[in-house]
Amino acid sequence: MAKERKETGKSGKSAGSDRPKGSARATPVPAGKPPAAKPSKQNTQRFYGSLGLVALVGAVFIAYQMNRPKAGPTTIDPNTPLPKAEGYVVGNPAAPVQVIEFADFECPACANFVTITEPDVRKRLVETGQISLRFIDFPLPIHRNTWEASNAAACANEQGKFWEMHDAIFANQDRWSGVTTTRPKPELQRLAKEVGLDEGKWEDCYDEKKYNLNIVANQKEGERRLVSQTPTFIIGSKMLPGSLSYDTFKAYVDTALAAVKPAADSAQPASK
């Protein structure tokens, strides 16, 4: 058997043993991997053309961001007499407890209160006659579009739909806020249409900034009361900064109601 193995090895030739002398050895190509094609000149030009287009669009966008119009409050004469700061009331203005809320339409914490807590406040406390709720604008300088939103809501109030617009503005804060856009009017106008306002009248009021002085007066009232953040609530004798849960809100209302009742009882004449 050893002899047979030797003969087999002697007579067997490798795959390359028949290659003619002087011929080059071929580089083996791994199975399943075709040789990589070199990028054509046309593809290279197309790539750099696309890259240049992206750079151009980026440059235009940056230029727009630097030169875009800034939304914000209207400058007024500081000597202009301001109207009375009244805000907007839901419920009976003569309710035993009159709650005041200082809020900024662009404030996320205010939106949190309006969408989560306020529906229960209105249904359980306002509609039952225990409290009235007065909303007073307190636009903060860190929010770019808050004055535009206050303006939009004031013009809705002119048509008797402040609270419908108030709710829509807060529920859709991500559509018009300064984080999203520098042109809030189109989004606010859509909301005006959705709540059923006369768009023409609303737009005339909005463009004129008809109630700008009222918004300023509301803001000054907050400053007079030393409001420093939004939302801030005044319930009875307590000033409460920050968004409140319903249970916390009601606890303060109950305390205020308890304080009001003895005062009301003492005001009644003694029976004979």
Three-point CA angle 168, 172, 127, nearest 5°: 35
Single-letter amino acid, residue 167: D
pLDDT value of position 262:
72
186: domain CATH number? Answer: 3.40.30.10
pLDDT value of position 24:
47
In a domain, 234, yes or no: yes
Write out residues in the chain with pLDDT < 50, as ranges: 1-24, 26, 57, 60-73, 272
pLDDT value of position 83:
86
In a domain, 19, yes or no: no
pLDDT value of position 238:
96
Q: Give strand pairing partners of 131.
A: 97
In a domain, 100, yes or no: yes
In a domain, 37, yes or no: no
User: Which two structure tokens, joined as six digits, stand for 250?
Assistant: 């009601």
| Bridge-based pairing state of the strands 232-235 and 97-103 | antiparallel
Residue recorded with tokens 């860190």: 142
Element holding 47 (H helix, E strand): helix 41-67
CA atoms within 13 A on the CB side of 259: 12
Distances (CA, A) of 265 to 92, 175, 272: 20, 50, 15
- Beta carbons within 10 angstroms of residue 85's beta carbon: 18
pLDDT value of position 237:
93
Distances (CA, A) of 65 to 31, 70, 144, 147, 148: 54, 10, 14, 20, 19
Three-point CA angle 141, 144, 150, nearest 5°: 85
In a domain, 52, yes or no: no
Distance separating alpha carbons of residues 39 and 103, to the nearest angstrom: 61
| Bridge-based pairing state of the strands 131-137 and 88-90 | antiparallel
Distance separating alpha carbons of residues 230 and 243, to the nearest angstrom: 8
pLDDT value of position 36:
55
- Asked if 156 contacts 191 with a C-beta cutoff of 8 angstroms, the reply is no
pLDDT value of position 261:
78
> What domain range includes position 105?
88-260
How many structural domains does the chain have? 1
